[in-house]
A and B are shown apart, each in its own frame.
Chain A
Amino acid sequence: MKGRLRRAEEDARLKERIEAVTAIAREMGLDFFPMRYHIIPADVMLAIGASGMPTRFSHWQFGKAFYRMKLHYDLGLSKIYELVINSDPCEAFLYEGNSLLQNTVIVAHVLAHSDFFKNNVYFSRTNRRMVDSMAASAERIRRYEIAYGERRVEAFLDAALSIQEHIDPYGTARETGFWWEDADAFYDAAVDGSDRRIEGSDRQGEAGSAEAPARGGGRVGGGDPPGKKRRWGLFADLWALDERLSGNDGKRSGAGGAEAEPPARRRFPPEPEKDVLLFILRYSTALEPWQRDILTIVHDEMRYFWPQLETKLMNEGWATYWHRKIMQALPLSPEEAIEFARMHAEIVKPYPGGINPYLLGWKMFETIEAKSGREGMFEARELDNDVSFIRNHLTEEVVRELDLFVYGRKDDVWQVETTDWTAVREALIRQRIGGGFPLIVVADGDFERRGELLLRHVHDGPELDVRSIEQTLPHVHRLWGRPVHLETVLEGRTVRFSYDGIRHDRTALA
Chain B
Amino acid sequence: MDEGLVFREDWSLHPKGHLDRRRHDARVREAIRERLPDLLHDESFFLSDGKAIVRIPVRTLEEARFRFDEGKHRHVGQGAGGTRPGDVVGRAADGATPDGGPGEAPGVDYIEAEVTLEAVEEVLFSELTLPNLRPKAPEAVSSDGERFSDLRKKGAWANLDKRRTVFQALKRTRLRAALAGPEKGGGVGAERGRVALRLTDEDLRFRAYAPAPHEEGRAVVFAMMDTSGSMGTYEKEMARTFFFWMTRFLKTRFERVDRVYIAHHAEAKVVDEETFFRKGESGGTVVSSAYALALRLIAAEYPPERYNLYAIHFTDGDNLPQDNAEASRLLKALIERTNLTGYAEVTHYAKRRTLYDEFLPLASPAFRLVRLQDKSDLYGALRHFFSERTA
The answer for the CA separation of A166 and B65 in the assembled complex, in Å, is 10
Contact of A462 with B73 in the complex, beta carbons under 8 Å = yes
Q: Which residues of A contact B73 (CB under 8 A)?
A: 408, 462
The answer for the CA separation of A154 and B23 in the assembled complex, in Å, is 9
Contact of A37 with B68 in the complex, beta carbons under 8 Å = no
Q: Which residue of B lies closest to A53 (CB)?
A: B16
Q: Tell me, rounded to whole Å, the shortest Cβ–Cβ distance linking A115 to chain B.
A: 13
At the interface, yes or no: B90 with Cβ under 8 Å from chain A? yes
Contact of A352 with B100 in the complex, beta carbons under 8 Å = yes
Contact of A7 with B8 in the complex, beta carbons under 8 Å = yes
Point out the residue from A67, A78, A165, A359 that lies within 8 Å of B102, measured CB to CB. Answer: A78
Point out the residue from A64, A406, A486 that lies within 8 Å of B76, measured CB to CB. Answer: A406
Q: Which residues of B contact A471 (CB under 8 A)?
A: 62, 64
Q: Which residues of A contact B99 (CB under 8 A)?
A: 351-354
Contact of B11 with A413 in the complex, beta carbons under 8 Å = no
Q: Tell me, rounded to whole Å, the shortest Cβ–Cβ distance linking B11 to chain A.
A: 4
At the interface, yes or no: A129 with Cβ under 8 Å from chain B? no
From DSSP, what is the main secondary structure of chain B's interface residues?
Answer: loop
Q: Which residues of B contact A419 (CB under 8 A)?
A: 83-85
Point out the residue from A154, A351, A402, A406 that lies within 8 Å of B100, measured CB to CB. Answer: A351
Contact of A11 with B6 in the complex, beta carbons under 8 Å = yes
Contact of A58 with B19 in the complex, beta carbons under 8 Å = yes
Q: Which of A38-46, A180-188, A327-335 contacts B (4 or more CB under 8 A)?
A: A38-46
Fill in one digit per residue for B5-36: 1 if any A CB lies within 8 Å of its CB, else 0.
11111011011110111111111000000000
At the interface, yes or no: A59 with Cβ under 8 Å from chain B? yes
At the interface, yes or no: B49 with Cβ under 8 Å from chain A? no
Q: Tell me, rounded to whole Å, the shortest Cβ–Cβ distance linking A82 to chain B.
A: 13
Which residues, 112 to 137 on A, are CB-close (under 8 Å) to B? none
Q: Tell me, rounded to whole Å, the shortest Cβ–Cβ distance linking B119 to chain A.
A: 13
Point out the residue from A50, A165, A353, A412 that lies within 8 Å of B75, measured CB to CB. Answer: A353
Q: Which residues of A contact B79 (CB under 8 A)?
A: 403-405, 416
Q: Tell me, rounded to whole Å, the shortest Cβ–Cβ distance linking B353 to chain A.
A: 44
With A18-B3, A351-B100, A355-B101: A416-B86 Cβ-Cβ less than 8 Å: yes
Q: Which residues of B contact A61 (CB under 8 A)?
A: 24, 63
Contact of A414 with B92 in the complex, beta carbons under 8 Å = yes
With A44-B17, A66-B17: A415-B65 Cβ-Cβ less than 8 Å: no
Which residues, 273 to 327 on A, are CB-close (under 8 Å) to B? none
Q: Which residue of A lies closest to B63 (CB)?
A: A61
Which residues, 46 to 79 on B, are CB-close (under 8 Å) to A? 61-79
Q: Tell me, rounded to whole Å, the shortest Cβ–Cβ distance linking B171 to chain A.
A: 27
At the interface, yes or no: A472 with Cβ under 8 Å from chain B? yes
Point out the residue from B1, B15, B88 that lies within 8 Å of A414, measured CB to CB. Answer: B88
At the interface, yes or no: B163 with Cβ under 8 Å from chain A? no
Q: Which residues of B contact A14 (CB under 8 A)?
A: 6
With A67-B21, A353-B89: A408-B63 Cβ-Cβ less than 8 Å: no
Which residues, 96 to 147 on B, are CB-close (under 8 Å) to A? 97-102, 104-105, 109
Q: Which residues of B contact A466 (CB under 8 A)?
A: 69
Q: Which of A170-178, A194-202, A424-432 contacts B (4 or more CB under 8 A)?
A: A424-432
Point out the residue from B64, B85, B90 that lies within 8 Å of A475, measured CB to CB. Answer: B64
Point out the residue from B19, B62, B65, B71 that lies within 8 Å of A409, measured CB to CB. Answer: B71
The answer for the CA separation of A457 and B72 in the assembled complex, in Å, is 16
The answer for the CA separation of A488 and B12 in the assembled complex, in Å, is 48
Point out the residue from B23, B75, B89, B101 that lies within 8 Å of A59, measured CB to CB. Answer: B23
At the interface, yes or no: B196 with Cβ under 8 Å from chain A? no
The answer for the CA separation of A97 and B80 in the assembled complex, in Å, is 32
At the interface, yes or no: A102 with Cβ under 8 Å from chain B? no
The answer for the CA separation of A165 and B12 in the assembled complex, in Å, is 33
Q: Which residues of B contact A44 (CB under 8 A)?
A: 11, 14, 16-17
Contact of B66 with A464 in the complex, beta carbons under 8 Å = yes
Contact of B74 with A356 in the complex, beta carbons under 8 Å = no
At the interface, yes or no: A213 with Cβ under 8 Å from chain B? no
With A63-B24, A63-B25, A351-B101: A36-B4 Cβ-Cβ less than 8 Å: yes
Q: Which residues of A contact B71 (CB under 8 A)?
A: 409
With A38-B7, A405-B83: A352-B66 Cβ-Cβ less than 8 Å: no
Q: Which residue of B lies closest to A96 (CB)?
A: B8
Q: Which residues of B contact A451 (CB under 8 A)?
A: none
Fill in one digit per residue for A441-469: 1 if any B CB lies within 8 Å of its CB, else 0.
00000000000000001000011111011
Q: Tell me, rounded to whole Å, the shortest Cβ–Cβ distance linking B375 to chain A.
A: 29
Q: Tell me, rounded to whole Å, the shortest Cβ–Cβ distance linking A51 to chain B.
A: 7
Contact of B11 with A34 in the complex, beta carbons under 8 Å = no
Contact of B92 with A355 in the complex, beta carbons under 8 Å = no
At the interface, yes or no: A219 with Cβ under 8 Å from chain B? no
Q: Which residues of A contact B102 (CB under 8 A)?
A: 69, 72, 78
Contact of B7 with A37 in the complex, beta carbons under 8 Å = yes
At the interface, yes or no: B82 with Cβ under 8 Å from chain A? yes
Q: Tell me, rounded to whole Å, the shortest Cβ–Cβ distance linking B105 to chain A.
A: 8
The answer for the CA separation of A440 and B5 in the assembled complex, in Å, is 43
Contact of A39 with B92 in the complex, beta carbons under 8 Å = no
Fill in one digit per residue for B301-330: 1 if any A CB lies within 8 Å of its CB, else 0.
000000000000000000000000000000
Q: Which of B12, B74, B89, B91 has the most chain A CB atoms inside 10 A of its CB? A: B74
At the interface, yes or no: B361 with Cβ under 8 Å from chain A? no
The answer for the CA separation of A486 and B369 in the assembled complex, in Å, is 52
With A18-B4, A37-B6, A412-B92: A54-B16 Cβ-Cβ less than 8 Å: yes
Q: Which residue of B lies closest to A436 (CB)?
A: B68
At the interface, yes or no: A161 with Cβ under 8 Å from chain B? yes
At the interface, yes or no: B189 with Cβ under 8 Å from chain A? no
At the interface, yes or no: B183 with Cβ under 8 Å from chain A? no
In the assembled complex, 10 residue pairs joining A and B whose CB atoms fall closer than 8 Å, in A order, are: A11-B8, A58-B23, A61-B63, A354-B75, A405-B79, A405-B87, A412-B91, A415-B87, A427-B76, A464-B66
Besides A66-B24, A69-B102, 6 more A-B contacts (Cβ < 8 Å) are A37-B4, A44-B17, A47-B17, A405-B79, A428-B76, A462-B68
